[in-house]
C-alpha cells in the first residue's frame, strides 16, 4: 500500500467532513420505505477516489460513517445502517474509478458512472438479501422475513431504489465534474 502524503491526508479529512455534512441533508424518496434515504455524500468520496486514488475514496466513506455513528448514534444500537452505507458507497466508487481510469474522457466517465450505478444496485440487492436485511431483523427485531418476502422486498424496493440513487449520483457528479474538470486536473497533478 502506497504511503499517503500529507496533502492526501488533509484532503481526505476535509472531504470526509463534507461527506458527513451532506449525509445530514438526506431525504427519502416518496414511494420507498423511509429507511432508504438518498444523500449526496458519495460525491466527495468519488472525487477523492478520482484525484487521490481508490484508497482515499474508501477512507472518505469509512470516516464519514464512523463520524456519523459517533455523532448521532444508530437507531439499531449496532450500526447496521452505517455498514450498509459504507458498502454501498464502495461498490459505487470503485467500479467508477477503475472504468474511468481505462478511458479518461467525458464519455468514459458517463460509462463509468453507469457501470458504478448498476454494480452498486446489483451488489446491494445481493447483500441485502443475504446479509443486511437478516441483520436488521436480528438487531431491530422486526419479525423474521421468509425468503420470498425478502426477495419481494429486494426486487420491489432495494433494487429500484439503488438504481435511482446511482442515477441521481451520476447526474450530480456529471454536472459538477463538467464545471470543475480543469481545476480537478490541476489538483491531481499537484498531489
Q: What is the closest distance, in whole angstroms, from the C-beta atom of residue 177 to other proteins in the complex?
A: 10
Using CB under 8 A as the binding rule, the residues of this chain from 41 to 80 that contact other proteins are: 43-44, 47, 55, 59, 62-63, 66-67, 70-78
Asked if 109 interacts with other proteins (CB under 8 A), we say no
Q: Rounded to an integer, what distance in angstroms lies between the CA atom of residue 18 and that of residue 28?
A: 20
Alpha helices for the chain (secondary structure H): 6-24, 42-52, 54-72, 80-103, 106-127, 133-139, 147-153, 159-190
**Best CA proximity match to 137, nearest among 124, 122, 149, 152:** 149
Q: What is the closest distance, in whole angstroms, from the C-beta atom of residue 130 to other proteins in the complex?
A: 20
3-state secondary structure of 37: strand
Give the cell for residue 55: 484508497
6 vs 147 by CB, closer to other proteins? 6
The residue ranges that bind other proteins (CB under 8 A) are: 1, 3-4, 6-7, 9-18, 20-22, 25, 27, 29, 38, 40, 43-44, 47, 55, 59, 62-63, 66-67, 70-78, 139-143, 164, 168, 171-172, 175-176, 179-180, 183, 187
Amino acid at each position: 500500500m502506497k504511503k499517503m502524503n500529507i496533502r492526501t491526508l488533509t484532503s481526505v479529512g476535509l472531504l470526509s467532513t463534507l461527506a458527513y455534512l451532506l449525509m445530514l441533508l438526506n431525504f427519502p424518496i416518496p414511494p420507498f420505505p423511509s429507511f432508504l434515504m438518498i444523500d449526496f455524500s458519495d460525491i466527495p468520496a468519488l472525487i477523492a477516489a478520482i484525484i487521490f486514488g481508490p484508497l482515499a475514496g474508501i477512507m472518505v466513506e469509512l470516516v464519514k460513517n464512523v463520524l456519523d455513528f459517533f455523532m448521532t448514534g444508530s437507531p439499531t444500537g449496532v450500526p447496521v445502517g452505517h455498514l450498509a452505507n459504507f458498502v454501498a458507497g464502495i461498490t459505487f466508487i470503485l467500479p467508477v474509478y477503475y472504468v474511468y481510469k481505462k478511458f479518461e474522457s467525458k464519455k468514459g466517465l458517463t460509462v463509468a458512472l453507469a457501470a458504478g450505478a448498476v454494480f452498486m444496485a446489483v451488489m446491494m440487492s445481493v447483500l441485502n438479501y443475504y446479509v443486511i436485511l437478516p441483520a436488521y431483523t436480528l438487531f431491530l427485531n422486526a419479525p423474521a422475513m421468509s425468503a420470498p418476502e425478502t426477495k419481494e422486498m429486494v426486487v420491489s424496493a432495494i433494487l429500484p431504489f439503488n438504481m435511482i440513487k446511482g442515477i441521481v449520483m451520476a447526474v450530480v457528479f456529471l454536472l459538477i465534474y463538467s464545471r470543475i474538470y480543469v481545476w480537478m486536473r490541476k489538483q491531481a497533478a499537484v498531489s
